[in-house]
Homo-oligomer: A and B are copies of this chain.
Amino acid sequence: MVMTPEQSPEYPPELSPEEEQYLLSTLKDWSIANGLAVRPAPSFISKEQDPSGVLASTAPVTLFPSLFPRSCFLEGCRIQSAYNELYSAIARDEDWLKSIVEELIGVDDFVSRLWEIHTEVKKEGYAQDLSLGLFRSDYMLHSDPSTTDQGLGLKQVEFNTIASSFGGLSSQVSALHNYLLEIGAYPASSANIIKSDAVQQSSSTSSLAKGLAVAHRAYGKSKGARPLCVLFVVQDPERNVFDQRLLEYALFSEGGIRAFRLPFNRTLENTRLDTDRTLLYTPPHAPSCTYEVTTVYFRAGYSPDDYPKQDDWTARLHLERSRAIKCPSVLTHLAGCKKIQQVLATPHSPHLKRFLPDEERASQVLATFAPIYPLDQSEAGLEARDLATNPESAVRYVLKPQREGGGNNIYRKSIPEFLKKLPQSHWPAYILMEMIEPPPARNAILRNGEVQKGGVICELGVYGVCLWRNGSKEGDKGEILENWEAGYLLRTKGDQSEEGGVAAGFGAVDSCCLLDV
Q: Which residues of A contact B (CB under 8 A)?
A: 16, 18-19, 21-25, 28-30, 32-35, 37, 40, 45, 49-58, 182-185, 187-188, 241-242, 245-246, 249, 252, 256, 258, 261, 283-289, 446, 448-450
Contacts and interface: CB of A to CB of B under 8 A. Distances in A.
B258 A183 contact: yes
B285 A185 contact: yes
Given A16-B285, A54-B57, 16 more contacts: A18-B284, A18-B287, A21-B284, A33-B249, A34-B35, A52-B449, A54-B446, A54-B448, A54-B449, A55-B56, A182-B256, A183-B252, A184-B286, A184-B289, A187-B286, A188-B286
Contact of A35 (B32, B284, B289): B32
A245 B55 contact: no
A57 B55 contact: yes
Contact of A285 (B23, B40, B53, B287): B23
B51 A55 contact: no
Contact of A56 (B51, B56, B285): B56
A51 B450 CA distance: 9
B56 A32 contact: yes
A449 B51 contact: yes
A29 B183 contact: no
Nearest to A449: B52
A283 B185 CA distance: 11
Given A22-B284, A23-B285, A183-B252, A54 B28 contact: yes
A256 B183 CA distance: 9
Nearest to A284: B18
Closest 8 CB pairs of A and B: A22-B285, A33-B35, A52-B449, A18-B284, A32-B56, A54-B449, A19-B285, A54-B58
A83 to B, nearest CB: 30
Contacts of A256: 182
A450 B52 CA distance: 7
A212 to B, nearest CB: 16
Contacts of A183: 252, 258
Contacts of A53: 28, 449
Contacts of A283: 22
